[in-house]
Every structure is written in structure tokens, then in C-alpha cells.
Homo-oligomer: A and B are copies of this chain.
Amino acid sequence: MARYPSLGLVTPENIGLLVDLYELTMADSYLRHGLNQKATFDLFIRAPVERRNFLVSAGLETVLAYLEQIRFTDEAIAYLRSLKLFSEEFLHYLRTFRFTGEVWAIPEGEIFFPLEPLVEVTAPRIEAQIVETFLLNTLNFQVMIASKAARVVLAAQGRGVVDFSPRRDHGADAAMKAARASYIAGCLGTSNVLAGMEFGIPVYGTMAHSYVMSFSDELSAFRAFARDFPHNSILLIDTYDTLQGARHALTVAREMAEQGLQLRGVRIDSGDLVVQSKAVRQIFVEAGFPHIRIFLSGDLNEYKIADLLARGAEADAFGVGTEMGTSADAPSMGGVYKLVEDEMGYRVKLSAGKATLPGRKQVWRILRDDRFFQDVIALRDEPPPAGETYPLLAKVMENGKVVGPGEPLSAMRKRFEERLAMLPEELRTIDAASPYPVLQSPRLAALTEQMYRVVASS
């Protein structure tokens, strides 16, 4: 137990214990009963998510790093021993624990749909079981954020979107992964400087009301900031009165112009953003400064952005925080991790409303006229369906080691952009659409039906 006061952070050293207790008790029991043959688990989003026409894969890199690095330290094992639950045999086993399995996954930035296996883990049962909690924690969150951010980016119709969410994200790691996932889904960057350093994401910022208040008057504050950051000044103009703020910004823009500099932009964070942004633009245009960019912020989401633009708001970019960083209208993702195959063969689960599809799988995406036409979930060893197709799942880890060189975030972001262009028009909207067709291959459907008959009658 850490000393007071404790940051209580998860570190690479202690990450093995970021696990639901039952994963470890089950693992101990598997060890005692010799139940450690290879098993395959599917991680998938169980049900359609309200207001999400599509989902965006994100978080795989975090998962792979975890699988490569998971260990149980002496401190962790001493703590587990203190619980008086575990066998010494199991604690001994944990000392040299490594993840040695094989992982297939849908790459980050790909568009996918409920029921499609996002990640498939095949490993000795104990290893596959122990990693469940972390995989769900990571993928549920990053998929949720990427899928939400994609909607915000869609609503912005080509204008920039910047992640302003760190202060409302759920803790320190959420601030990192919200920046990461929203960048994959098309955001320009983030205000989170550490995410900038760790992931190479562009960082953005303006100024706070307290900055303006720290000077004797608004114009002095604007002048000071423009002098300090001549190429990067975005002045916050709504601390006192937005139109007066715009005129102060204009004064600064004129002074900068005399030195051959351009004021980059202003930000409006409160009030009626349509009325204010139009009036501010008019002030700038009439004064011959049409290039001054207008950033809008203040509890924005995809619906508000769509509404602002529909009502003629003048905006070059949006800062979006709380609603994107918490996926406020759907703040959890129902990803689950289910046994689908083991040494006894195919497996299914029968609990009411919680059915699973058996076996190791591939998802085939059928294209028509360069657009997604339908997806088919098939058994891994089935041939692809007829027509132009591509497989969603690729092998990303073998014997506990990452396969291939790994992808930079920029490649994932580009993948998402390309896939978005291939998505049927009716799904490429923030409005609710009919579900995209995800079918089962005839062989998988027949197998599933047969398995349910067997399980139900056993």
C-alpha cells in the first residue's frame, strides 16, 4: 500500500494487477485442475449502440503493449498472498507469467460493427483469462471515443475539431486515450500536451478567461499575448463583452499587420454562438481582416455543431471537450470477451440475451462500387464470399510478440479517413440510419444453430 499522499497511478510495473479478482481466482483453479490448454476468446461489442451508425477500431496498440509487458512483480505477488485466497502453486506460476498467445484484430482506424470480433485471443486458458479485464477496459473506452469523435468530425463538415477534454475526462489515462482515439477519428489534435509528447499528436491551445483577467484590461492582455506568441495567438474574446472583445482583437490585428504579422484567430466560448460569431466575422471582414479565424467552444457536441452550421454560424474550427471526451450521450461501450473455442471444440454461451457465436472467425467486408455493401462473419478457415472483399481481421501477435513493424497513428487516421469515404452515404451522418447489414456465413449460422440445440438440450 502506497504512502500518503498517493497518486494511485497504473504503471507498467503494476499493470498485471489491473484485473478483476475473479480472473485470478479462476486462473488459480484452472492451474490446479490442469485446465490450461489453448482457448480462444472473442472481444466484440454485443449490441447496437444508440446513435452510432458505425464503430471505429481504436486501442489495439495499447492492448499489444500490455500483452508484451504484463508481469507480476514481487510486490504484486506478496499482496496476492496476503489475501489468503491463492495456492502457492499459482503464486509461483505468476512469478514467470508472460503472455505467449496469438492475437487477431481489426486494425485501428477501421470501421466495424457490433458482433464482429474486434480482437480474438488464442492462448493457454489462464493467460487468455487474466488479460480480459485490461483488454475490455482499453478497447471499450478507445472504441467509444473514436466512434463519438467520428460523429463530431462528420458534423463539422471539414472544419477542424480539437480535443479540449482533459479537464472532464475520467482520470489521467482517459485524457491520454481520448486524445489518441479522437485523433485517429479525424480530430486535428488535442490540448493535452502529454498526449502530444507520447503519441506525436499536434497540440493546440488558446487562452483562458483568467489570463484576460490577470491584466488590467482586455486590450492589454491581448497585446501581451500577441507579442509573446506572434504566430500562434488565438484570443479569447468573451471574458467581458464579446463584440467589444472582437474590437480589441481587431486593434491587435492592426498593430500586428503593421509589423507584417497576422493575428491567427479568436475564440468565443459563451453566449449565442451563431449571433456572436456572425457579428464578430462582420467586424473583421468590414475592417479588412477576413482571414482572422473564429474558433467556437463551450459544451459542444455533434448536434450542436450541426445546428450552429445550419443556422449560419461563422466557424473555422471547434474546440470540443466534455461531450466528446466522455461520449456523453453513450458513456460506455458494451464490449464483452467470450470463450468461443477450446480443447473441447467450439463453445457458445446460452444466457438470456447474451448469446455468442462459436469458433475462430474472420469478417469479410464485401464492397460494391467501392462502397461497403455488407459484412459477413465467417469461420476463419472459410473461403471469402464472392465478389470484391477484404478481410477485417489480421494476425497482430504471435507467441506473445507483435507481428510486423507497428503502425504510426497517422496511418490509422488515414485508414479511418479512407474507410469513411467508403461508408454508404446513409450511414455517413449523425442521424440514425438503418443498421448496416452484418450477416453470418451459412456455415457459421448452421454451426451456431446446431450448437444452441445441443447446449439447450444438455
Residues of A within 8 A of B (CB): 1-2, 4-12, 14-15, 17-26, 28-30, 32-33, 35, 39, 41, 61-62, 64-66, 68-69, 75-76, 79-80, 83, 85, 87, 125, 129, 132-134, 136-138, 140-141, 164, 166-178, 180, 191-200, 203-211, 213-217, 224-225, 228-229, 232, 238-240, 269-271, 322, 326-328, 331-333, 335, 338-339, 342, 344, 347, 349-354, 402, 405-408, 455, 458
A20: which of B167, B176, B200 is its contact (CB, 8 Å)?
B167
A5: contacting residue among B8, B29, B64, B331, CB under 8 A = B64
Known pairs A4-B408, A14-B198, A239-B350; list 11 more (Cβ under 8 Å): A2-B199, A7-B15, A8-B65, A8-B176, A20-B205, A83-B196, A141-B170, A170-B171, A238-B351, A240-B458, A270-B353
**Cβ–Cβ contact B66 & A269, under 8 A:** no
Contacts of A353 in B (CB 8 A): 270
CB distance from A161 to the nearest CB of B (A): 16
Can you sample 30 A-B contacts with CB below 8 Å?
A1-B200, A2-B198, A4-B407, A6-B198, A7-B62, A9-B10, A10-B175, A11-B11, A19-B194, A21-B193, A23-B205, A25-B228, A29-B224, A79-B193, A83-B203, A87-B228, A129-B208, A129-B210, A137-B167, A137-B172, A140-B167, A140-B168, A168-B332, A171-B171, A209-B339, A210-B339, A213-B347, A239-B351, A240-B350, A240-B455
Known: A7-B66, A21-B205. A331 touches B342 (CB 8 A): no
> Closest 8 interchain pairs by CB?
A21-B205, A4-B406, A22-B205, A170-B170, A171-B173, A136-B167, A331-B331, A5-B65
Chain B residues near A196: list those with CB within 8 A.
17, 21, 79, 83
In Å, the complex CA distance between A216 and B211 comes to 67
How far apart are the CA atoms of A206 and B15 in the complex, in Å?
21
A300 to chain B, nearest CB (A): 13
B residues near A349, Cβ cutoff 8 Å: 209-210, 213, 239
- Report yes or no: A224 in contact with B33, Cβ–Cβ below 8 A: yes
Which of A141, A204, A338 has the most chain B CB within a 10 Å cutoff?
A141
Select from chain B the residue with minimum beta-carbon distance to A216: B344
Q: Is A85 touching B18 in the complex (CB atoms < 8 A)?
A: no
A29-B224, A208-B26, A214-B30 as given contacts; A21 in contact with B191, CB under 8 Å: yes
| Known contacts A85-B232, A125-B214, A328-B332: A12-B18 contact under CB 8 Å | no
A326 engages B322 (CB within 8 Å): no
Shortest distance from the beta carbon of A32 to any chain B beta carbon, whole Å: 6
Chain B residues with CB under 8 A of A168: 136-137, 140, 332-333
A226: nearest chain-B partner, CB-CB = B29
The answer for the CA separation of A104 and B29 in the assembled complex, in Å, is: 49
- The interface residues of chain B lying within 8 Å CB-to-CB of A408 are 4
Give A217's nearest chain B residue, CB to CB.
Answer: B458
Q: Which residue of B lies closest to A200 (CB)?
A: B1
In the bound complex, CA of A170 to CA of B215 (Å): 38
Residues of chain B within 8 A (CB-CB) of A195 are: 8
Are A203 and B21 neighbours in the complex by a CB distance under 8 Å?
A: yes
Chain B residues within an 8 Å CB radius of A28 = 228
Q: With a CB–CB cut-off of 8 A, which chain B residues contact A137? A: 166-169, 171-172, 175
Which of B25, B140, B224, B405 is within 8 Å of A4, CB to CB? Answer: B405
A274 and B8 alpha carbons, distance in the complex (Å): 38
Residue contact A138 to B210, C-beta cutoff 8 Å: no
- Which residue among A2, A83, A194, A215 has the maximum number of chain B CB atoms within 10 Å of its CB? A194
The answer for the CA separation of A92 and B36 in the assembled complex, in Å, is: 55
Cβ of A206: which chain B residues have Cβ within 8 Å of it? 22
Chain B contacts for A339, CB-based, 8 A: 209-210, 213-214
Interface pair B197/A228, CB less than 8 Å apart? no
Interchain CB contact under 8 A, B191 and A22: yes
Closest to A3 in B: B406
